Structure 1
Amino acid sequence: MSARDRILAKLRGARPAEPLAHPDPAPHYAARARNESKAERLARFRTGIEGFHADVHVTTEADWPALLARLCADKGVGTLLFGAQTPAGRRLDPATFAGTTLRPWAGRVEDIKADLFHTVDAGFTQTRGAIAETGSLILWSSADEPRTLSLVPPIHFALLDAAHIHPTFYDALVSENWAGGLPTNALLISGPSKTADIQQTLAYGAHGPKALIVLVINAEGDEQ
């Protein structure tokens, strides 16, 4: 018997006859979800993502386009790239964006690479939801709204409905039935890009957006 065979025989001999039972996490997470209000989830999410240097603005379904236009003006955004065929993209009116050019996403990355990396100031995306426990946004990319919009421009504006903030990642997986089908790419975003590669010093904006600005639609809250 070779050394390899002896090692494999030991491993097989140590393997339990029946798979080890794992505790079911559902009761713990379900209890938390039941006992936490929408306002509490929003507060937890906001504390978490602001701790990672993101900016959060609470608004309403009717007012968020005007808020986005105002923030673009405040940030000096010359060109905003967005998915024109998405529900949120259809709400954007160029007439309200003084000084900002709205550029619909079109074509392939290879075709617009020079503009994307050198002339586009910000990207705007919808979000699928968020996770209160980690202060993370959930984005599912699509042909109309590719991940490039959130990963390349210096500023990322993200639109979030507070009703879709989940207590935990587990709750998002279960309540939205992620097992039933996922996109080719799903993103969890907890702030602007950051790295500590150089002398273990944390730096923001090294490999992506330098700023993350979240517009939260909250029917139960006040605008901020």
Structure 2
Amino acid sequence: MSAKARILDKLRHSLAGTEALPDDFDETLVTEPWRYPPEQRMARLRELMEAVRTEIHLTDQTRWPALLADLLAKKQLTRLLIAPRTDHGRQLSEHWQHRSDAPALHAYDRPVEEWKHELFHDTPASLTGTVGAIAATGSLILCPDRHEPRLMSLVPPVHFALLRASTIHDNLYEAQRALNWRAGMPTNALLISGPSKTADIEQVLAYGAHGPKDLVVLILEDA
């Protein structure tokens, strides 16, 4: 028997003769203080994210590619990393075909070991989707997968994120319920509340030390 099997077997037998405690969890303790009228959720999210230097723009499902192209031009970013197998990656690629002035698109479509230097040194910006946001904490929710790996939101200095307004939840508990995490947690879940920042060195706040120095959120308002 392996060491892992022995440990699991010991844990299983340790419960012999015991009884489960009744579940008296009161969900109001983690929801009521952090609940907002639907029309205030976006405002609450913007207030908290902009307070930590997140850039937010309102757009819609049709116009966001053009807005993104304009933002890239204003920031003088000549290259954008995308996930071509996602819906937003395909939509952006189609839009780019009709713009001769658009920055170059680079696809995350191979193992990182094959292009690590290019990713870390020649990729100024990336675009990812989100699965929602939390108004109470001003946080985006990302669930990276093989099509849109974690490195896309971690390595490039500028991170553009798409967020549908209808997926802004009041609090983490309600977000978990809406995403049905009880039935199966994602392999990787991220809560992003602004650009990377630290004050470890001499208590001076610095951006970009452990990730993107700029976070730009495009909120897609419902039609």
TM-score range, shorter-chain basis? 0.7 to 0.9
Q: CA RMSD in A?
A: 2.1
Residue 51 of structure 1 is matched in structure 2 by 51
For residues 86-134 of structure 1, the C-alpha deviation after alignment (integer angstroms, 9 at most, x for no partner) is: 0100111333362510011111111111011111110100000000000
Match of 2:14 in 1: none
* Counterpart Cα distance in 2 of 1:97 and 1:83: 21
Separation in 1 of the partners of 2:175 and 2:221?
19
Deviation at 1:204, TM superposition (A): 0.8
Distance across 2 between alignment mates of 1:142 and 1:20: 36
Tell me, yes or no, if the aligned pair for 1:78 and 1:120 is still in contact at 8 Å: no
**AA at the equivalent of 1:138:** I
- Answering whether residue 71 of structure 2 is matched by residue 71 of structure 1, we say yes
Match of 1:192 in 2: 195
Structure 2 portions without partners, runs of 5+:
1-18
> Could you say if the C-alpha distance between residues 97 and 156 of structure 1 is closer, same or farther in structure 2, counting changes exceeding 3 Å?
farther
Structure 1 runs, 4 residues or longer, greater than 6 Å off: none
SS at match of 1:180: coil
Percent identity (aligned): 46
Counterpart-to-counterpart distance in 2, 1:97 and 1:214: 24
Q: Cα deviations across residues 27-60 of structure 1 (Å, max 9, x unaligned)?
A: 8726965x612x3101001111111110000001
Aligned partners of 1:203 and 1:211: how far apart in 2? 12
Deviation string 1:171-190 (CA, Å, 9 cap, x unpaired) is 10112211211222111001
2:27 aligned to which of 25, 28, 47: 25
**Counterpart of 1:147?**
150
Stretch of structure 1 that moved more, 174-183 or 46-55:
174-183
Instruction: Kindly indicate whether the alpha-carbon contact (under 8 Å) linking 2:69 and 2:102 is maintained by their aligned counterparts in 1.
Output: no
Change (3 A) 1:219 1:199: same
Return closer, same or farther for 1:22/1:97 CA change in 2, 3 Å cut-off.
farther
Do the aligned residues in 2 keep the contact of 1:69 with 1:97 (CA within 8 Å)?
A: no
Partner residue, 1:94: 96
TM-score for both structures, normalised by structure 1: 0.83
CA distance in 1, matches of 2:142, 2:73: 25
In structure 2, what is the Cα distance between the partners aligned to 1:139 and 1:75? 24
Change (3 A) 1:201 1:32: closer
Alignment of 1:156-175 (within 5 A): 156-175=159-178
What are the ranges of 5 or more consecutive residues in structure 1 without an aligned counterpart?
Answer: 1-16
Distance in 2 of aligned mates of 1:176 and 1:30: 19
Shift in CA distance, 97/191, structure 1 to aligned 2, threshold 3 Å: farther
Aligned residue among 130, 136, 140 for 2:139:
136
TM score, norm. by length of structure 2:
0.84
1:26 CA drift (Å): 3.9
> How far, CA to CA, are the matches of 1:115 and 1:48 in structure 2?
34
